[in-house]
Amino acid sequence: MSEIADRIKVIAFDVFGTVVDWHGSVAREVAEMKLDADPDEFALAWRAGYQPAMAEVMRKGEWVILDDLHRRILDRILQDFKLDDMRETQRRHLNRVWHRLDPWPDSVEGLTRLKSRYIVCSLSNGNIGLLTDMAKHAGLPWDCILSAENFNKYKPHPDTYRGVARTFAAEPAEVMLAAAHHGDLEAARNCGLETAYIERPWEYGRGQAKKVAPWDANSLHATSIVDLAEQLGC
């Protein structure tokens, strides 16, 4: 453990679900807008379009930033929810809810403590502008914002994980990915990165607890970002 703490130089964080509560934040804004839709279901439907939209971008070999993918999905689910009379200005405002996501209660303290010893950056499929607005909104003290947009590839493409190491002139084994998703961590591990799983049982809302059991393959397993900081002696 302390061997890992001494070796790594950079901790890259997945953001949606790991650092910020997308479900709670999206559902709350949907509720505040008094849309004729169940906020929980609306948030889940929007997020459900996320992986397929990125996979399509990667398959086509084009590059489209996440703000634009979020908008395509939004337009489709507004139809599904029979809300397609929503005006353009309201659609634009709602689409930017992803720039206004709130952090989990431990995120700011955990990142701040980890910064004392490591380079702490994002590695998110969110575009740079989105992540910058979110950092200002949520007070996330990134040393550096890295995004799929830096590499023109979405996670789990290897270029993204290797790109973090290359950006900081580090070996892959000197970089740790921290995420609440085992698939993301597995892809990072396959590129030689260390991995830390962060438990986020309420990522999909209070209606359904996510399984947060440890996988042996991960280097570390933490109940929160503050717990990760504790484990790394920060």
190 CB-contact burial (10 Å; exposed 0-12 / middle 13-18 / buried 19+) = exposed
Q: How many residues bind a copy of itself (CB under 8 A)?
A: 21
Q: Is the Cα dihedral 152, 158, 159, 165 positive or negative?
A: positive
- Reduced to 3 states (helix: H, G, I; strand: E, B; else coil), residue 121 is strand
Which ranges constitute the DSSP H helices of 61-203?
66-80, 88-95, 107-115, 128-138, 148-151, 158-167, 182-190
For the bound state, the minimum distance from the C-beta of residue 166 to a copy of itself, rounded and expressed in Å, comes to 9
> Could you give the CA distance from residue 185 to residue 188 in angstroms, rounded to a whole number?
5
Considering the rule CB under 8 A, would residue 7 count as an interface residue with a copy of itself?
Answer: no
Interacting positions 82-141 with a copy of itself (CB under 8 A):
115, 119, 121, 127-129, 131-133, 135-136
Would you say 132 or 223 has its CB closer to a copy of itself?
Answer: 132
Task: Restricting to residues 158-177, name those near a copy of itself by CB under 8 A.
Answer: 167-169
Q: Applying CB under 8 A, which of residues 38, 67, 109, 227 lies at the interface with a copy of itself? A: 67
Q: Contact residues for a copy of itself (CB under 8 A)?
A: 67, 115, 119, 121, 127-129, 131-133, 135-136, 143-146, 149-150, 167-169
